[in-house]
Structure 1
Amino acid sequence: MEQEVETPGSAGDVVQIGHGLWERAMDFAESLLRPWNAYQVLIAVGLLIAAHVFARIIEPRVTEWLRTREGWPKWRLRVLLIVRNRLRLITFVLLIWVTVAIMREVTWPSRSYLLAIVANLALAWLVVAFATRLISNSFLRAVVRYGAWAWITLRILNLTTEAEQVLDSLAIEIGGIRLSVWMILQAVIVIGILFFGARVLSRTTSARLQSNTDLSPSMRVLTIKFVQLVLYGAAFFVGLKAVGVDLTGLAVLSGAIGVGLGFGLQKVVSNLVSGVILLLDKSIKPGDVISLGETFGWINTLGARYVSITTRDGREYLIPNEDLITGQVVNWSHSNDFVRLDIHFGTSYADNPHDVRRIAIAAAESVDRVLTSQKTVCHIVGFGDSSVDYVLRFWIRDPTGGLTNIRGNVYLALWDAFQENGISIPFPQREVRMLGGEQVAAAQD
């Protein structure tokens, strides 16, 4: 004969546990009517009032004293501010533990039993309040603080078993997976701790990879993203396995969800895959200067979905990775930092072309940022209607400094050099003739 295993989850279990807790609460309330228990409650209330009065008197003086501490490190001032804000609780903890110690020496331990419970609760709350200040995120800090306070309170009051039974009885079943509130809370706590550890390891690994000069910038980004994916993924699945979640059913459910998301998030998946391709082929990396359409700037970061590009006017463009794969991209610093620029101009037919070429090359090389190590050339490219047309080609090595400004500086240098050497820059001229009366009549005939 098979034995049935009772599983929590029925409403009767919750009612039974609640009835037991109610009986314990009534017994505790009746115990407060005993003289020494009532005395302990009054002593605790009196100590709380004394701590409140003391804090109200001391806090303004501490605030004024802190305002005069100029030149102190910020971390020290921050710690003192935390102490000032918790001054009431700190004073209460000190007073009640001193009281408990005195009462244990002069009377029986049973006459300070309630005070000891209150002292343990107050000390635990104070420790949690200070410890959670290490969490920078305000929402996460509040969740951890209140959760720790609730767990410590139940632990000190010896109510953890009843609380666990109540939370485990509130459950639902999805397929073959049973999810209870207790299991969800365990999963959140375990996964949160594992995520915190994964975050610390990720930051440490990222810092070491960024300082590794043997790897290219794109490989550093790819390695960091891969390490983060592995660490956070492992933390998630290990956390679920630790609390007893059956990953077999979860795998089937996640596969069905993945198929649905694949159709609805084609663009997102395409950008993710394109980002991995960009990191692997090293065609674009942080620091490169690129042109995509009318956007010209240098790459700040390579994200999972987009590339951040900052232009010369301070604007930051977020270009989807797919556009960099399918579009025509000009990478000004792909293989090296050398960039050649062309300038077109024309001079009069009366000027000697040999002198014009020599003066133009010397003027270009006199401009900052123009490389003299690379050959600057000037060629005749045609004979126009009113000018001899030239092209001046020079090299720079810092495209991040801008292209329009260096072209403008070279044009100014050409202008000054041509003015000094008497070389003229022609412009189209039109001749207008006024016809007389006879000429007009002849034109009309």
Structure 2
Amino acid sequence: MEGQPEIVQQLWSWVEPGWQVAQDWLTSPAAWSQFALLVAAFVLARIVSQRLTPIAERLLTPPEGRSGMIVTARLFVRRFLPLMLPLLAWVFTAMGEEITRSIFGSGAVIAFGKRVFLFLAARLFVRAVLTDPFLRVLGRYVLIPVSFVYAVGLLDDLTLRLEETIIALGNIKFSLMALIRGLIAGSLLFWLGAWSNRQSADYIKAQQELRPATRELAIKAAEVMIFGAAFLLLMSIMGIDLTAVAVLGGALGVGIGLGLQQIAANFVSGIILLLEGQTTVGDYVELDGGEKGTIVKMTARACVLETFDGKWIVVPNEHFITTRVVNYSDQGSANRYEAEFSVSYDTDINKVPEIIETAVAALPFVLKTPDGPDCELRGFGDSAVNFAVEYWVNGIDDGKNRFGSPVLFAIWNALKEHGIEMPYPQRVVHHRHETPPEPPKPRRRRAEA
């Protein structure tokens, strides 16, 4: 290779050892016997897997309609059945390796075959077993390349080279291998943390005996603990001294003091809201700023309000602590509303309360407790007698429920049924007719003589 470009010589220096090994294997009877053993192990593994796979399918497939932890575990194990062939080939090859080493004193080809079977198992694991998109990307670009490098026998050399490459960031020093290991471990840890957080949140939300505020607080506490533990474990995996993290924490504290006051205030306000429980998910609230709606989500930074027309309003938690908040209570409690109406002065107003209370009480959503409908005389207007009926409903008339419209229809129909008039505004105009005085007639001039 003399006289060739430097890059070609460098590539040949990497390829030459493998070429020498291949030549040795092709000319060695021991190597040929090991190749034959690999083929025999693969054929045997294929026969065994074809016989065992249907049996395993029947054992691991649960009856239709069943559910529970055992069913979930059986379905989880069944997903790994595609790996049976390469793993059985690896097992049979490992068993034959001992025989080959005892006879020929060498097992390089067998060891290479075992690594190849593991590489095939890794490819099948990524393609047939993994279903999560993030894990499939991680397997495609991390697991498969690493298993290939391991199969060709270069993993130890590559790892050593990466360990010797040092990166320094101020007082923090770590190797390139530690950085790669940290990226991979961090991706897995935080994916596992997100999955654990979802599982714990679903479990906590299912505990209906806890108050909504308590459930939200428990979910946030579990989230902080899970991701805090993942961060500390990642620092340990990367080999970073935790004293350096303390310095970073001090800098972060200065940053909070200088520019992140609002974020910190919202975070603390969110914890206070969850601890007090006076405002929680499901409550219909109205703030001083005019925002109103049902709280559908409470995060560490803000609360999300859903208006009756489907819009979401994100309100910082601090507003719930520093401003006046009207809480109409959760949608499962009773609330009182009223509807106003008027009748003519010609009406016998003593009959009106009974007629209206009966009509409103007949509506299916009107409650009898804590009190039934109550019709009250409110005053005497210019052209009508003013009444109002008060009624209780289970929920909030926030635009979704619309209790007011059926009540007004019931009032109208009841009054019409009993011949009671709801008058228009009336005005009495007095017109005084007087004959205007006749204007003075102009005097005629005497004719000149």
TM-score, length of structure 2 as denominator length: 0.71
Q: Is contact 1:279-1:285 (8 Å) kept?
A: yes
Distance 1:125 1:210 in 2: 42
Opposite residue 278 of structure 1, the aligned amino acid is: L
Corresponding residue for 1:170?
A: 165
Structure 1 residues 104 and 222, CA gap change in structure 2 (3 angstroms): closer
Moved more, 409-418 or 132-141: 132-141
Indicate the SS of the match to 2:286. Answer: strand
Distance 1:441 1:332 in 2: 73
Distance 2:253 2:275 in 1: 25
Is residue 419 of structure 2 the alignment partner of residue 422 of structure 1? yes
Is residue 133 of structure 2 the alignment partner of residue 143 of structure 1? no
Q: Is contact 1:171-1:179 (8 Å) kept?
A: yes
Corresponding residue for 2:381?
A: 384
Structure 1 residues 164 and 98, CA gap change in structure 2 (3 angstroms): closer
Structure 1 residues 128 and 26, CA gap change in structure 2 (3 angstroms): closer
Opposite residue 232 of structure 1, the aligned amino acid is: F
Corresponding residue for 1:278?
A: 273
For 1:271-330, what per-residue CA distance to the aligned partner results, in whole angstroms no more than 9, with x for missing partners? 222221211111211222223465544222212222233333333333332333334332
Indicate the SS of the match to 1:290. Answer: strand
Q: 2:355 aligns with which of 353, 359, 368?
A: 359
Q: Is contact 2:115-2:150 (8 Å) kept?
A: no
Is residue 204 of structure 2 the alignment partner of residue 209 of structure 1? yes
Corresponding residue for 1:56?
A: none
Distance 1:348 1:317 in 2: 45
Indicate the SS of the match to 2:423. Answer: coil
Q: Where in structure 1 are there 5+ consecutive unaligned residues?
A: 1-16, 48-71
Q: Is contact 1:298-1:400 (8 Å) kept?
A: no
Opposite residue 422 of structure 1, the aligned amino acid is: G
Q: 1:324 aligns with which of 317, 320, 325?
A: 320
Corresponding residue for 1:68?
A: none
Moved more, 17-26 or 279-288: 17-26
Indicate the SS of the match to 2:329. Answer: coil
Structure 1 residues 161 and 276, CA gap change in structure 2 (3 angstroms): same
Q: Is contact 1:357-1:378 (8 Å) kept?
A: yes
For 1:239-276, what per-residue CA distance to the aligned partner results, in whole angstroms no more than 9, with x for missing partners? 31244211112221332144235544443333222221
Structure 1 residues 310 and 436, CA gap change in structure 2 (3 angstroms): same
For 1:203-236, what per-residue CA distance to the aligned partner results, in whole angstroms no more than 9, with x for missing partners? 4543443333442111111111112101211221
Is residue 277 of structure 2 the alignment partner of residue 306 of structure 1? no
Q: 1:346 aligns with which of 342, 349, 373?
A: 342
Give the CA deviation at 1:361.
1.7
For 1:164-206, what per-residue CA distance to the aligned partner results, in whole angstroms no more than 9, with x for missing partners? 2211222221222102211122323444554455456544543
TM-score, length of structure 1 as denominator length: 0.72
For 1:117-164, what per-residue CA distance to the aligned partner results, in whole angstroms no more than 9, with x for missing partners? 245323443245326765544233222344223333444444343222
Structure 1 residues 20 and 440, CA gap change in structure 2 (3 angstroms): farther
Structure 1 residues 103 and 210, CA gap change in structure 2 (3 angstroms): closer
Structure 1 residues 125 and 172, CA gap change in structure 2 (3 angstroms): same
Indicate the SS of the match to 1:250. Answer: helix
Give the CA deviation at 1:417.
0.7
Moved more, 423-432 or 298-307: 423-432
Corresponding residue for 2:244?
A: 249
Distance 2:248 2:390 in 1: 63
Indicate the SS of the match to 1:332. Answer: strand
Opposite residue 239 of structure 1, the aligned amino acid is: L
User: What is the number of equivalent residue pairs in this alignment?
Assistant: 404
Distance 2:130 2:79 in 1: 16
Q: 1:228 aligns with which of 218, 223, 229?
A: 223
Indicate the SS of the match to 1:428. Answer: coil
Structure number with higher helix proportion: 1
Distance 2:124 2:437 in 1: 103
Q: Is contact 2:283-2:331 (8 Å) kept?
A: no
Q: Is contact 2:31-2:109 (8 Å) kept?
A: no
Distance 2:436 2:368 in 1: 61
Distance 2:180 2:117 in 1: 24
Percent of aligned positions that are identical: 28
Q: Is contact 2:333-2:395 (8 Å) kept?
A: yes
Is residue 17 of structure 2 the alignment partner of residue 24 of structure 1? yes
Distance 2:430 2:123 in 1: 97
Q: Where in structure 2 are there 5+ consecutive unaligned residues?
A: 1-9, 41-63, 66-71, 440-449
Looking at both structures, which has the greater relative contact order when contacts are Cα pairs under 8 Å and sequence separation is at least 6?
1
